[in-house]
Amino acid sequence: MYKKLLKSVTNLGSPKILLVGDFILDSYVYGDALRISPEAPVPVLKVMDRTHSCGGAASVAADLLALGAIPICVGVVGQDPNGKLLTGLLDDLGADTSAMISASDRPTITKQRLVGLAQHRHRQQLLRIDDECTEPLNDIQQSALFDIFAEKLPQADIVCLQDYNKGLLTDTTCAKLIQLARKAGKRVLVDPALSNDYSRYKGASVITPNRFETSSAVGFAVDTIKDAARAADVLVRDISLEAAVITLDRDGAFLKTASLSEHLPTVPRTVYDVTGAGDMVLAMLAAGLAAKCDFTTAVQLSNIAGGLEVEKFGVATVSIEEIVNEIIKTHRSKAGKVQNIDTLKDELDFHRHQNASIVFTNGCFDVIHRGHIEYLQFCKTQGDIVVLGLNSDSSVKAIKGPERPINNQHDRAAVLAALECIDYVVIFDEPDPLKTIEAVRPNVLVKGEDWAKKGVIGREFVEANGGKVVLAKLVDGKSSTATIEKMKEIKN
């Protein structure tokens, strides 16, 4: 499955997503909160920094851009400095803001967060100040919204509705947008507002409520996976969905379609801030489905992306590279660092896709000593991914004699895999590593300086492919053979 996930996330392309919703400016004021005010029992915030970022539907746009998709933004901002600031942020990121409506009768939705820095380091939100109008658009603005949506619809691969219940996506508006999109053959994905009535989203393709939102919509608590399955059935049936994707925080997500009813678990996370997690899930799901991923794959990728987002402070994007690294890390934790050459080649291809530099070295590494550790740490300084080619037992015997190795290949590989500086271990049977080097195709080949006169095996291949050979300085007096001989002396 991990290969399918890697292939899918690295082949998303640049789909166009027609994104309609409540575009919000997130404003952060950071300061040291070191004392209590003498005027009232509240912290005094000494301002140290101010930042602005994309929130609400604007956060989804930023997430889509980080995934390589192109959001076509349809929403409303006020004719105020915050409106200019928000559209400017979106423009700078590369979003299409030509369909944004500027309204004179409502402010740009702004959430200002006051964040205290305890001991200058630990962030803690103290207060949030919201500036917004949640009244429905007037008739002229709503008509303009429909016209712009219809104009942009043919350009889109998929449609997203991000509803924060701020007056834009009313019952009438949602019904009209969904009708137009489905008539044009476009899927509609909805991140719903908190409500006990989801009828406004009837006929949408996919809906992505979280556990709490789902409980409110279906009228019973979603505490267990069994509850989620029951709730998903209700949503698909009652609002005529193609699929329901219920996000279950630490429990992952539950996917329900006409042919599927499955729980997709996620990796346990250290949750730093859940702000923006739903936006990231919607963005990843939209990008995945627009790229023709099946539902299971798209939801699995959304699980990963949402999980990475909650480990960050505030509303934050997650890149394809981060998702790729997470997939590989999760797979490696299951498969281990010790791999056969075929699976290793697949993983190295994905590392290369991220422009990672591959380092290769090899040896018997029979009795590990200080010289080995310093040598391998040096290898790690030469690139991003270190692959160690380990001589098999039969190969060691051919080189060192019938009494070697002292430790078998599995024990040697396990010890080496435990080192942080080693990313992969691959065992080879041949007397020299040339065949393995040709399979790995390293950017850097590292050998000890004692190979300068003997000639480094694989040098010609590596240099012919644009790589380089680096000779590492060795620690004097340290070798497996010397260690073994000293042990023999002690025994005698």
Cα–Cα nearest to 359, from 386, 341, 336, 396: 386
How crowded is residue 37: how many other Cβ atoms within 10 Å of its Cβ?
10
Query: Could you give the CA distance from residue 159 to residue 172 in angstroms, rounded to a whole number?
Result: 17
Q: Cis link prior to 405 (omega < 30° from 0)?
A: yes
26, 63, 157, 279: which is the annotated catalytic residue? 279
Encoded amino acid at 324, one letter: V
Six-digit token pair at 32?
A: 């040291």
Contact yes or no for 436/399 (Cβ under 8 A) = no
Instruction: Give catalytic status of residue 476 as yes or no.
Output: no
Six-digit token pair at 106?
A: 């409502």
Query: Could you give the CA distance from residue 404 to residue 401 in angstroms, rounded to a whole number?
Result: 6
The residue whose two tokens read 């290793």 is: 344
Q: What one-character DSSP code corresponds to residue 289?
A: H
Q: What one-character DSSP code corresponds to residue 199?
A: G
Name residues whose C-beta falls within 8 Å of residue 163's C-beta, 6 or more positions apart in sequence: 21, 22, 169, 174, 190, 191, 192, 193
Question: Cα Rg for the chain, rounded, in angstroms?
Answer: 28
What 431-435 contacts at long range (C-beta under 8 Å, 24+ apart), as own/partner pairs, is 431/395, 431/398, 431/399, 432/457, 433/360, 433/362, 433/389, 433/457, 433/458, 434/458, 434/461
CA angle 335/340/344 to nearest 5° reads 75
3-class SS of residue 248: coil
Q: Which residues are catalytic?
A: 279
